[in-house]
C-alpha cells in the first residue's frame, strides 16, 4: 500500500496574518518588560559594545559591594532608584568608595559624584545625561589601619519618582581597583539635613551624624583649656551644632536661624591653629552636617542701590539732568593658564622636525614618546637634543633637565616605582647662546631604529618654567611663546599636581660621589673595590701652630692587592680642588680636571702581588680637596691609602 501525506500550504495572506499577530505581541510585551527594569533603556539600539562608561549604559547599582576597575582617565556610571532596589520604603542611602594605592591620590583625582534626573514618563524616551549634581564623596576624618587605603563616603535621600546616577571617575595617572558599597540608612538625628555623612573606613569603624559631630567637636576643643572648651560647646549646642541623644527633634535649633557672627566666630575658633589640610577637612565635614548654613550678608552698595531722592526722581524738580550714571560693568578677568603634568601613559609625540615646547608647573614634568626610523639601512643612528629653559634666575636652570629612557621601562613607572627607572642619557649643562636669562642642556648619543623611547622633561624648582626642546645640536634659537598644553582628564593631564610621590629614594652610598665623600684622616685608611668601582674621599687640614706657612708637604701612598689571588690589580687615584664640586653637581663630570694624579712608586711592597702608586706635593691649609680612587682592572682588590707629611 502506498502512503501519502499532505502539507499545509502557506499563502501570502496567511503569512501576513501571522506577522500582524507577532507585531502586536511585541508592542505589548516589550514596554511591559521595559518598565520592570529601571535604569536600563532596552529600546536604545545605538549602544556600542562598551558599557558602564556613560549614563545611557550605566550599570544598575546593587546593595552591598560593587567591584570594578578604572584605567587612567576612565569613568564608570551606576544608576539606582527605589524601583531598582525593590524597596518602596527606602528613603536614605549610604555610598562608600574604597581603593588602595601606594601613591598619594587626592579626592579631586579619584572620587564619585551623585547626579539625579526625573524618571522617564514614556517607554520610548531616551535617557538624557544628568547635570544636577547632588553631592560628591568626602574623605573620612578617621585614620585607617591600612595607610594605603583611600575611602570616600556620601549619604543622601532617595526621593520617589527620581532616578539617581553615580559617576565614579579616575583622573590620576594610575589604574585603580575599587569597591563601591551601597546600603540603606535611616535619617540622621540632626538639626540640618546632611549633604554627606555616615561613612565607614572598615566594618568596625562606622560613623553616623552624631558621631561625626562629636568627632569635629573633639577636634575643635582639643587645643582649648577647660573653660574655653565648655563655653565653645555651650554655644555650639545653642546654635544646633551639637545635638545630644535625649534632645527632641522639634526642639533642635537651626544653624540657619542663628546669628551669622556667632557661627563665623565658632568656626574661626575651631580651625585656629590647624594646618591648611586639616582646616579644609574640618570645614568640609562641618558643611556636610549643615553647620555652615550661614545666610548671606547683604550690604548696601550706594553705586547700585540708590533711592529716588538720591537719583533726582520724584520731587527733585531737575528731571533727568540729575540722574546718576549707571555703574561701569567690570571686564571679566583674563583666564589664567594652569600648567599641566603629562605622564608616560599618555605622552606627547616628539616632533623631530621642529621645536617641542611647554610650560612646567613647580616640580612638574612632561613626557614625550620618540620612535626613530629614517628608513635607511643603518640600524644605529646618531641623534642630538638641545633644550633651552627660561627663566634662569636663582640657578633655576640647574634644576631643569631632560632624560631619555627605553620604553621597556614603562612598567616600572606604572607600578609606582618611577625613581627606579634608569636613563640612558640626560642633558649636560652648557652655555653657548651668551644669554644670561636662559638655561641650556645638550645630549648627544645613538638610538636604535624602530625602538621607542620615552623623554622626560622635569622641573625640580619651585618656580614655573618654560622649556624649548629642539632636535639637533642648536647653539642659538629664537624661543618665542611656548605651547600651553591644556588639561585633559581623559588623557591623564592634570593641572598643577606634581608627579605622584613614589617610594623614597635609596639613601646615598658613602663615597659614591663628591657630595657624599668620606672624610680622610692622616694615617692609613683601608677598603675594598670591585672591578670598575670608584670611591671618593674629602681631605681638609689646619695648622693652628704655624701662621706663616700656609702650605705643607704631603706624600700619599696607595697600595692595592688582588682578592682573587690571580694577578696584580691596578688602581690609581687623583686629587681635585674643592671648588670643582659645582661642576659635578650640575652634571658636567667630563669637565673635572685633577691637579695631581698617582704615579708608580719606587718602594718595594711586602706582598709580591701588590702594586703601589704615590703622589708627592704640597697642599694648602684650610682648603678642601677631593681624592678619587678607582679600580680600572677586571677583578676585585683591597687597598691601603696612607697620608704622610703635613704639619
- Residue pair 394/446 in contact by the 8 Å Cβ criterion: no
- Is residue 267 within 8 A of residue 283, CB to CB? The reply is yes
Q: Side-chain half-sphere of 210: how many Cα atoms within 13 Å?
A: 9
Determine the average pLDDT of the residues in 109-120. Answer: 81
Residue 488 in grid coordinates: 585633559
Instruction: Indicate if the pLDDT at residue 579 is higher than 90.
Output: no
pLDDT tens digits along 385-398: 999 998 877 667 78
Most confident of 102-106, 263-267, 633-637: 633-637
pLDDT at res. 187:
47
Give per-residue pLDDT as tens, 427-483: 998 888 778 788 899 999 999 888 999 999 999 888 899 999 999 999 888 888 898
Residue 556's nearest CA partner among 586, 596, 595 is 596
- Asked, colleague to colleague, whether 55-207 and 514-645 share their fold, the answer is yes
Pick the CATH number of 514-645 from 2.60.120.380, 3.40.50.300, 3.20.20.70, 2.60.40.10: 2.60.120.380
pTM of the model: 0.33
**Residue 637's closest CA among 538, 518, 533, 537?**
533
* 54-73: pLDDT as tens digits: 888 888 888 888 988 888 88
Q: How far apart are CA 234 and CA 228, in angstroms?
A: 10
pLDDT of residue 387: 94
Predicted pLDDT at 367: 93
- What value does the mean pLDDT take over residues 535-550? 83
Does domain 55-207 fall into CATH 3.40.50.300? no
Per-residue confidence (pLDDT) for residue 269, from 0 to 100: 85
Q: What value does the mean pLDDT of the chain take?
A: 77
CB of 465 closer than 8 Å to CB of 363: no
According to DSSP, residue 579 is labeled G
Report residue 282: phi and psi, to 5°.
-65, -45
Distance CA 197, CA 464 (A): 39
pLDDT digits (tens, 9 = 90+) for 152-172: 888 788 887 788 999 999 988
- Radius of gyration of the chain measured on its C-alpha atoms: 37
* Mean pLDDT of the 537-564 span: 86
**Residue 600: what pLDDT?**
92
**Cis peptide leading into 391, omega within 30 of 0?**
yes
Return the pLDDT at 2: 55
Distance CA 286, CA 440 (A): 51
Q: Which of 229, 239, 242 is nearest to 264 (CA)?
A: 239
Report for 112-126, 380-394, 477-491: range of highest mean pLDDT:
380-394
pLDDT of residue 526: 94
Residue 132 has pLDDT above 50, yes or no: yes
* Alpha carbon 150 to chain centroid, angstroms: 14
> Which letter does DSSP use for residue 581 in this model?
H
Q: Are 365 and 341 in contact (CB under 8 A)?
A: yes
Domain 340-495 has CATH 2.60.120.380: yes
- For cell 560628591, what's the residue? 136
Query: Is residue 333 within a helix (H) or strand (E), and if so which, with residue range?
Result: none
Q: What is the pLDDT of residues 510-529, one digit of tens each?
A: 999 898 999 998 899 999 99
Domains of the chain, residue spans: 55-207, 211-288, 340-495, 514-645
Residues 6 or more apart from 303 whose CB is under 8 A from it?
A: 327
Between 146 and 558, whose confidence is greater?
558
Highest mean pLDDT (candidates 155-159, 347-351, 487-491): 347-351
pLDDT at residue 135 greater than cutoff 70: yes
Amino acid at each position: 500500500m502506498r502512503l501519502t501525506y499532505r502539507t499545509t500550504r502557506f499563502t501570502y495572506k496567511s503569512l501576513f496574518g501571522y506577522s500582524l499577530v507577532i507585531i502586536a505581541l511585541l508592542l505589548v510585551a516589550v514596554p511591559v518588560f521595559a518598565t520592570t527594569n529601571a535604569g536600563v533603556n532596552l529600546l536604545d539600539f545605538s549602544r556600542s559594545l562598551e558599557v558602564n562608561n556613560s549614563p545611557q549604559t550605566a550599570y544598575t547599582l546593587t546593595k552591598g559591594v560593587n567591584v570594578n576597575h578604572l584605567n587612567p582617565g576612565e569613568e564608570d556610571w551606576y544608576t539606582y532608584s527605589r524601583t531598582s532596589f525593590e524597596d518602596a520604603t527606602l528613603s536614605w542611602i549610604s555610598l562608600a568608595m574604597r581603593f588602595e594605592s601606594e601613591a598619594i591620590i587626592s579626592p579631586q583625582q579619584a572620587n564619585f559624584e551623585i547626579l539625579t534626573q526625573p524618571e522617564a514618563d514614556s517607554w520610548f524616551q531616551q535617557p538624557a545625561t544628568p547635570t544636577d549634581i547632588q553631592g560628591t564623596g568626602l574623605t573620612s576624618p578617621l585614620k585607617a589601619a591600612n595607610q594605603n587605603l583611600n575611602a570616600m563616603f556620601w549619604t543622601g535621600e532617595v526621593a520617589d519618582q527620581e532616578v539617581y546616577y553615580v559617576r565614579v571617575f579616575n583622573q590620576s595617572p594610575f589604574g585603580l581597583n575599587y569597591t563601591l558599597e551601597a546600603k540603606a540608612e535611616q535619617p540622621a538625628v540632626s538639626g540640618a539635613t546632611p549633604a554627606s555623612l555616615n561613612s565607614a573606613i572598615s566594618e568596625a569603624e562606622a560613623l553616623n551624624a552624631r558621631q561625626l559631630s562629636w568627632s569635629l567637636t573633639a577636634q575643635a576643643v582639643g587645643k582649648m583649656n577647660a573653660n574655653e572648651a565648655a563655653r565653645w560647646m555651650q554655644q555650639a549646642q545653642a546654635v544646633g551644632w551639637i545635638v545630644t541623644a535625649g534632645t527632641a527633634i522639634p526642639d533642635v535649633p537651626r544653624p540657619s536661624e542663628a546669628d551669622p557672627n556667632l557661627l563665623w566666630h565658632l568656626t574661626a575658633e575651631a580651625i585656629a591653629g590647624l594646618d591648611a589640610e586639616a582646616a579644609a577637612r574640618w570645614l568640609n565635614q562641618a558643611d556636610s552636617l549643615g553647620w555652615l548654613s550661614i545666610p548671606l550678608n547683604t550690604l548696601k552698595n550706594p553705586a547700585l542701590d540708590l533711592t529716588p531722592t538720591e537719583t533726582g526722581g520724584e520731587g527733585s524738580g531737575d528731571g533727568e539732568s540729575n540722574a546718576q550714571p549707571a555703574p561701569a560693568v567690570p571686564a571679566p578677568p583674563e583666564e589664567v593658564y594652569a600648567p599641566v603634568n603629562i605622564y608616560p601613559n599618555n605622552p606627547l609625540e616628539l616632533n623631530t622636525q621642529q621645536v617641542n615646547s611647554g610650560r612646567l608647573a613647580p616640580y612638574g614634568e612632561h613626557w614625550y614618546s620618540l620612535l626613530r626610523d629614517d628608513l635607511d639601512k643603518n640600524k644605529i643612528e646618531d641623534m642630538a637634543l638641545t633644550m633651552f629653559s627660561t627663566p634662569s634666575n636663582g640657578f633655576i636652570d640647574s634644576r631643569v633637565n631632560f632624560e631619555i629612557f627605553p620604553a621597556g621601562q614603562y612598567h616600572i613607572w606604572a607600578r609606582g616605582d618611577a625613581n627606579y627607572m634608569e636613563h640612558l642619557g640626560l642633558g649636560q649643562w652648557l652655555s653657548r647662546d651668551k644669554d644670561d636669562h636662559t638655561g641650556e642642556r645638550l645630549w648627544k648619543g645613538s638610538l636604535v631604529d624602530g625602538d621607542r623611547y620615552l623623554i622626560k622633561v622635569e622641573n625640580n624648582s619651585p618656580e614655573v618654567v618654560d622649556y624649548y626642546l629642539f632636535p639637533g645640536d642648536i647653539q642659538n634659537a629664537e624661543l618665542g611663546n611656548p605651547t600651553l598644553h591644556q588639561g585633559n582628564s581623559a588623557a591623564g593631564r592634570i593641572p598643577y599636581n606634581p608627579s605622584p610621590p613614589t617610594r623614597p629614594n635609596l639613601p646615598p652610598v658613602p663615597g659614591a660621589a663628591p657630595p657624599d665623600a668620606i672624610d680622610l684622616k692622616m694615617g692609613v685608611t683601608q677598603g675594598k673595590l670591585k672591578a670598575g668601582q670608584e670611591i671618593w674621599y674629602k681631605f681638609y687640614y689646619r695648622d693652628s701652630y704655624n701662621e706663616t706657612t700656609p702650605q705643607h708637604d704631603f706624600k700619599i701612598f696607595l697600595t692595592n692587592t688582588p682578592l682573587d689571588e690571580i694577578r696584580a690589580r691596578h688602581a690609581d687615584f687623583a686629587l681635585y680642588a674643592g671648588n670643582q664640586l659645582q661642576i659635578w653637581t650640575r652634571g658636567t663630570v667630563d669637565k673635572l680636571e685633577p691637579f695631581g694624579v698617582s704615579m708608580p712608586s719606587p718602594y718595594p711592597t711586602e706582598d709580591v702581588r701588590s702594586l703601589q702608586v704615590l703622589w708627592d706635593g704640597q697642599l694648602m691649609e684650610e682648603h678642601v680637596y677631593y681624592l678619587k680612587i678607582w679600580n680600572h682592572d677586571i677583578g676585585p682588590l683591597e687597598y691601603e691609602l696612607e697620608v704622610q707629611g703635613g704639619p
